[in-house]
Amino acid sequence: MLLFLTIFLILCSTPPILGLNQEGLYLQSVKHSLDDPDSALSNWNDRDETPCSWSRITCDSSGSVYSVDLSNTNIAGAFPSLLCRLPNLTFISLYNNSINSTLPLDISFCQNLHHLDLSQNLLTGALPHTLADIPELRYVDLTGNNFSGDIPESFGRFQKLEVLALVSNLFDGTIPPFLGNVSTLKMLNLSYNPFSSGRIPPELGNLTSLEVLWLTDCNLAGEIPDSLGRLKSLKDLDLAINNLHGRIPTSLSELTSVVQIELYNNSLSGELPAGMSNLTALRLFDASMNQLSGTIPGELCTLQLESLNLYENRFEGSLPPSIANSLNLYELRLFGNRLTGELPKNLGKNSPLRWLDVSNNLFSGEIPATLCERGELEELLMIYNSFSGEIPASLGECNSLTRVRLGHNRLSGEVPAGIWGLPLVYLLELEENYFSGKIAKTIAGAGNLSLLIISKNNFTGAIPEEIGWVENLVELSGSNNRLSGALPESTVNLRQLDTLDLHNNELSGELPNGVESWKKLNELNLANNYISGKIPEGIGKLSVLNYLDLSGNRLSGKVPLGLQNLKLNLLNFSDNHLSGDLPPQFAKEMYRNSFLGNRGLCGSSEDLCDSRNEAKSQGYVWLLRCIFILAASVFTIGVVWFYLKYRNFKKAKRAIDKSKWTLMSFHKLGFSEYEILDCLDEDNVIGSGASGKVYKVVLTNGEAVAVKKLWGGIKTECESGDVEKGCVQDDGFEAEVETLGKIRHKNIVKLWCCCTTRDCKLLVYEYMPNGSLGNLLHSSKGGLLDWPTRYKIALDSAEGLSYLHHDCVPPIVHRDVKSSNILLDGDFGARVADFGVAKVVDASGKGPKSMSVIAGSCGYIAPEYAYTLRVNEKSDIYSFGVVILELVTGRLPIDPEFGEKDLVKWVCTTLDQKGVDHVIDSKLHSCYKEDICKVLNVALLCTSPLPINRPSMRRVVKLLQEVGTEIHPKIASKDGKLSPYYYDGASDLGSVA
Ligand SMILES: *[C@@H]1O[C@H](CO)[C@@H](O)[C@H](O)[C@H]1NC(C)=O
Ligand SMILES: *[C@@H]1O[C@H](CO)[C@@H](O)[C@H](O)[C@H]1NC(C)=O
């Protein structure tokens, strides 16, 4: 029969005039309905009779189209429903294209479809409920689109579905219990959706064929249901990044097939479940970042574990010694617990240990000599423990090591020579121990070494000349040792050097020649040594130098004139033997402290030396005179101050008497409204904006608050005080303010309270010591913000905005996102401020005139505002994009230098014409370029001219977080300086997530 048919077909096909068959015609229409910029479908032509020879088309034996695979072809346009006219089509993949608009209901006409892959496209809207009507459907992957709404109820009725993947969309309902009816499911992956808070439906325990269950970052709350223990086929369980509470149910120890369990980043508590020894297939277990307690059970060691991550919990006691018998263990991360005792003596002897992180615990005893016995150890992280003894010599031969952090322990003795020269190590940190001996010459072999941190030890001897061979060295921090001799000449070969900090040592000799080759040097601190000779002229050529401290040495000669070219945050040459004239720029009062204690400089600046030298000559007489003057002035100031205070107090009293104040407070207050009123005078103004003036008020309890006094224009129409209440409610002000006051989020400035009276309204906010991002970034202090800080500011504020847009009911549109509305706390954590205030002002019924108030600020206004005159979330996202551009470029949103253009246009044209290097702020370190470019791309998405193309705030957060998986975030250390190495755990999160 088939043979006959084939012959027939061949016969019929001889005359070429027959033309394309029906299926081919359908596919041609599909082709025409799509945008095909790369001509991927160019051989879909009408000279053939069947489409079977076309690229990306497969036919079955009857010559009918069976599969259409257009993955990765860059095609764009709506989903081509015409495909469903192909009767035998079983396979569609449009993976990774730009398929947009919604998925049509008539997709159910694809009655023979088995496999539907539309992942990584731009589909929006609701899922078509008709999908479940396709009887043969086995595989549905819609990952990475913008589908929203609920998962349709019909999805509980799939007949044969085995794979359902809806990862990274915008579904915002809850995870529906009816999915538990799809008993054929083998893989269910709903991760990374902004679901509203809900529980894991216990019904999912009915999916007994399930092998993969991924519910990462799905806003899950409540406990893990016992029923999950019934998933006997489950191999991979991932419930990470949710708000799950309670204990890990014992039933999970019945998952006898499970290979991988991920529970990190929840609020799970209690002990690890008993019976874990039943999980004989388990290879990877990660329950980090919870509140688990108790001990780490020895049972775990009977398993074939390869990776065990339990960091940032509350585990106590010592590590079961049998962990050293785990034959496959290559990753062990236990940092941030309260573990005590010693590490097992033969850890690493039996297993190919690669990553060991036990930092921030209470471990003691010696470092096991066997850690690198298999020659695979890459990361050895043990900071902040009480390890003692010497570094085992065996580690000096561990050539696989890349990261060694032993800081903040009680280690002693000489560092094995091999350690200094390990070929792949890029971070060697030995800070704050009792190490002694010299830096060995073997350091010449450390070809990859980038960060060498050995401060606060007892190292002695000269720094070897060989240090100059370590070409990749970015930081050399060796302060507070007893290093001696001269700084080797070879150090000028260290062209990558960013930080050279050797203060508090015994260095002598002169500074090397040719320091101008330190093109990237940002910090030079050689204070408190015995360095002599002149300050090299070349120092004035270090254009990115920011911190220069050579105080407490024996430097002589003149202060180089070139120093005036530098933009320094700190300059300290005090206590040296410098002489001659100061460069004019420095001959000022504000630089006085930078040059104190240099006898030879006295002539050059009036008040530079009189304090010290005259004091010597005139002795106590002078001192007494000083004290007297001081006392007199304190007294006078006191009297004046008291008088002013008293007057203000009376004034305020009067004001208060005149009009009654209503106070709405949203937090427990430690102050009264009168205290605030007392301080609202012009001296305390710290800012002024479209909606009002801002005052800083220091309360009697020492705390500071920021008070925003809304312009008088918003007062109510009421005339007499007695109907005040009703009137205020009319204007909607209080209702609005109450919504704002209820918001609690780490990246949103807290509104403490609101005081209103007939003609004045005050909003009292928490005070942010580092002021606004706009002020800092665009001032001379912009250089203080390095890339990791800027990145964190972007992410923080994105999270704040995302909270306003997605987690508040009703959603709150900020309406005035700009860098001066992003405030920075003491650690440069960013918080969004002033949200919704514009609306409050508007709600007071000023009508269209106040439109200028709500439209936002110049340079931040989304283009569509020009014709819609409406602001919505999308306009916030545009403005936020501008803020990121400011962070990346360091430029103002509008600048005369741009001519007609604003920042957005300037960036676009400069990118096109000159390339990315001309866009990125030159103050940023080039080592971050890759990350900066990624963030720049996010900004460009946000500032896309069409609102629809802008990602949601939630997605912006995701996109920014993805950049962060590679970055090592800098975390402020105790002394307030930003240091990338303070806490290892944080920098390692990326690899876990
Ligand atoms: C979908 O993509 C096509 C082709 O690029 C484009 O012309 C159309 O405007 C897009 N539609 C939407 C709603 O974005
Ligand atoms: C293809 O579809 C045609 C028409 O529906 C049907 O007759 C034929 O049996 C199908 N072929 C296969 C292999 O399913």
Q: What is the pTM of this model?
A: 0.62
Mean pLDDT computed over 871-877: 84
- pLDDT tens digits, 135-191: 999 999 999 999 999 999 999 999 999 999 999 999 999 999 999 999 999 999 999
Q: Residue 657 — very low, low, confident or very high, per pLDDT cuts 50/70/90?
A: very low
Average pLDDT over residues 372-399: 96
Active site residues: 816
Measured distance CA(758)–CA(748) in Å, rounded: 29
Burial (0-12, 13-18, 19+ Cβ within 10 Å), 636: exposed
By mean pLDDT, which of 235-239, 255-259, 548-552, 629-633 is the weakest?
A: 629-633
Considering only 68-82, 86-100, 725-739, 777-791, which range has the smallest mean pLDDT? 725-739
Describe the chain by its helix, strand, coil percentages, rounded to 5.
35, 20, 45
Q: pLDDT-based confidence at 547, cuts 50/70/90? A: confident
Per the CB < 8 A criterion, the answer to whether 118 and 145 are in contact is yes
Mean pLDDT of the chain: 84
Q: Confirm if 540 and 560 have CB atoms less than 8 A apart.
A: yes
Least-confidence region, from 244-253, 516-525, 982-991? 982-991
pLDDT at 691: 66
Q: Whose CA is nearest to atom 4 of ligand 1?
A: 77
Find where tokens 């090299």 sit.
Answer: 536
Distance CA 901, CA 937 (A): 19
Q: Which residues contact 922 (CB under 8 A, 6 or more apart)?
A: 890
Question: Is residue 101 lining ligand 1, measured as CB closer than 6 Å?
Answer: yes
pLDDT band for position 522 (cuts 50, 70, 90): confident
Point out the ligand nearest to the CA of residue 63: 2
**pLDDT over threshold 90, residue 643:** no
- Here the tokens at position 160 are 């044969």
pLDDT mean over 280-305 = 93
pLDDT exceeds 60 at position 773: yes
Task: Please state the φ and ψ torsions of residue 482, each to the nearest 5 degrees.
Answer: -125, 40
Inter-axis angle of helices 929-942 and 787-802, nearest 10: 30
Structure letter (DSSP) for residue 746: T
Q: Which CATH superfamily is domain 771-993 in?
A: Transferase(Phosphotransferase) domain 1 (1.10.510.10)
Q: What is the mean pLDDT of residues 360-375?
A: 95
Rounded CA-CA distance 526/539 in Å is 13
DSSP string, 69-130: E-TTS--EEE--GGGGGSTT--EEE--SSEEESBPPGGGGG-TT--EEE--SS--EEPPPGG
CA of 100, closest atom in ligand 1 = 1
Exposed (0-12), middle (13-18) or buried (19+): which is 594, by Cβ within 10 Å? buried
Residues 303-323: tens digit of each pLDDT: 999 999 999 999 999 999 999
Kindly indicate the confidence band of residue 798, based on its pLDDT and cuts at 50, 70 and 90. Answer: very high
How confident is the model at residue 312, as a pLDDT? 92
The angle formed by the CA atoms of residues 25, 29 and 32, to the nearest 5 degrees, is 140
The fold adopted by the segment(s) 296-389 is 3.80.10
Ligand 1 atom nearest to 948, measured from its CA: 14
Q: What is the pLDDT of residues 94-131, one digit of tens each?
A: 999 999 999 999 999 999 999 999 999 999 999 999 99
pLDDT-derived band at 860 (thresholds 50, 70, 90) equals confident
Domain ranges of the chain: 296-389, 619-660, 661-767, 771-993
The verdict on whether residue 709 carries a ligand-binding annotation is yes
Q: What is the mean pLDDT of residues 682-689?
A: 75
Q: Which helix (H) or strand (E) holds 6?
A: helix 2-13
120: closest CA among 171, 74, 61, 66? 74
Tokens representing residue 669 in the block: 């207050």
**Higher-confidence residue: 709 or 141?**
141
Chain centre to alpha carbon of residue 17: 63
Ligand 2 center to 18 CA (angstroms) = 22
Asked whether the predicted pLDDT for residue 5 surpasses 90, the reply is: no
Q: Flag whether pLDDT at 741 surpasses 80.
A: no
76 lines ligand 1 (CB under 6 A): yes
Instruction: Take atom 10 of ligand 1 and give the residue whose Cα is closest.
Output: 77
Res 989 pLDDT > 80: no
Ligand lying closest to the C-alpha of residue 86? 2
For range 243-261, the mean pLDDT? 95
CATH class of 661-767: alpha beta
Task: State residue 742's pLDDT score.
Answer: 74
Q: Which one is predicted more confidently, 586 or 37?
A: 37
Q: Name the residue type at position 897.
A: E
Percent pLDDT > 90 in the chain is 57
- The closest ligand to the CA of 60 turns out to be 2
Same fold yes or no, 296-389 and 661-767: no
Residue 180, pLDDT score:
96
**DSSP labels, 790-854:** HHHHHHHHHHHHHIIIIISSS----S---GGGEEE-TT--EEE-STTHHHHHHHTTTGGGGHHHH
Residue nearest atom 9 in ligand 1 by C-alpha distance: 77
Give the H/E segment covering residue 664.
strand 662-665
Mean pLDDT of 628-640: 73
**Could you tell me which residue, 366 or 716, shows the higher pLDDT?**
366
Q: Which pLDDT band, with edges at 50, 70 and 90, does 613 fall under? A: very low
Tokens 């991002």 — which residue? 773
Q: What is the pLDDT of residue 836?
A: 59
Indicate whether 554 pLDDT > 70: yes
The predicted-structure confidence for 430-487, as pLDDT tens digits, reads as follows 999 999 999 999 999 999 999 999 999 999 999 999 999 999 999 999 999 999 999 9
pLDDT for residue 91 is more than 90: yes
* Residue owning the nearest CA to atom 5 of ligand 2: 87
pLDDT in tens, 820-848: 889 998 888 999 987 655 554 444 433 33
In this predicted model, what pLDDT tens digit does every residue of 32-62 receive, in sequence order?
999 999 999 999 988 888 999 999 999 999 9
pLDDT digits (tens, 9 = 90+) for 909-952: 888 888 888 899 988 888 888 899 999 999 999 998 887 788 88
Tokens of 333: 């991360």
Q: Report whether pLDDT(713) > 60.
A: no
Q: Which residue has the higher pLDDT, 158 or 14?
A: 158
**pLDDT for residue 3:** 46
Residue 262 has pLDDT above 70, yes or no: yes
Q: How far is the CA of 70 from the centre of ligand 2 (A)?
A: 23
Expressed in angstroms and rounded, the spacing between residue 77 Cα and the centre of ligand 1 is 5
